[in-house]
Amino acid sequence: MAKLKHSPEWMIDRVKEYLDEKDSCRGIARQNNIPHKDLRFWVLKYQIHGASAFYVKKGNTSYSVDFKIKCIKEVLAGKASIFETAAKYNISSVSVLRLWIKKYNANIELKDYNPKREVYMASARRKTTKDERLEIVQYCIEHENDYKNTAVKFDVSYNQIYTWVKKYNMRGEDALVDRRGHHKSDEEVDEAERLRRENLRLKQQLKEKDMTVELLKKVTEFERM
């Protein structure tokens, strides 16, 4: 399932429940249907930075190569866990740091990241096939629904990926077929749409009937002349 987005206030409340010892980390996570590792990360961020860590800054955070390598080496040297490092430097998510480490270990060049607003704002960036959409969706899910970095990696928009993942989770691979221009049959639509179509058909039939009556009147008048 795709992750639900929670408000900063909601996340802070869950953290405080844990810190006030109302239940265990796993217990609170289970009650609120969230991964316990997410709650663990929120607690660490709150303990280090306070409530301000949960409020999104205007624009997106920029990460330099030097900063990425600093964080990576801290984890690989065993100075801190990946969760502790991500929380310490207030990185947006653990999956982001995990992706940097994966690239570093694979000798893939790390680059300065300057967030692009169009990743979020663009309604579309390029055309994709069903197979491409499936690959993108599976990559996004495997990387903890990291829509932003998936959008950058595959050169598609944030909104596209979010929509594809939602459709995939609800109806599977078939939901990724591009049906633009495809007119659904009456059997493929819901009851409301079927009633709307039937209403339009009846109106059209009445209109055609009225036109026929008017035509017959005119023919009759013409024959009487």
pLDDT of residue 3: 46
Q: Please give the single-letter amino acid code of residue 125.
A: R
Task: Say if residues 150 and 139 touch (Cβ distance below 8 Å).
Answer: yes
Tokens 């493929």 belong to which residue? 188
Q: Element (H or E) spanning 47, and its range?
A: helix 36-49
Structure tokens that stand for 211 in this block: 């036109």
In the chain, what are the helix, strand and coil shares in percent, each to the nearest 5? 65, 0, 35
Q: Element (H or E) spanning 31, and its range?
A: helix 25-31
pLDDT of residue 1: 36
The answer, as to whether pTM is greater than 0.85, is: no
**221 burial level (CB within 10 Å; 0-12, 13-18, 19+):** exposed
Can you give the pLDDT of all 225 residues of the chain as single tens digits? 334 467 889 999 999 999 998 899 999 999 999 988 889 999 999 999 998 888 765 445 678 889 999 999 999 999 999 999 999 998 888 888 999 999 899 888 887 765 555 555 555 556 888 889 999 999 888 888 888 888 888 888 888 888 899 888 888 888 888 765 555 566 666 777 777 778 877 777 776 667 666 656 655 654 554
pLDDT of residue 211: 64
Structure tokens that stand for 224 in this block: 């009487």
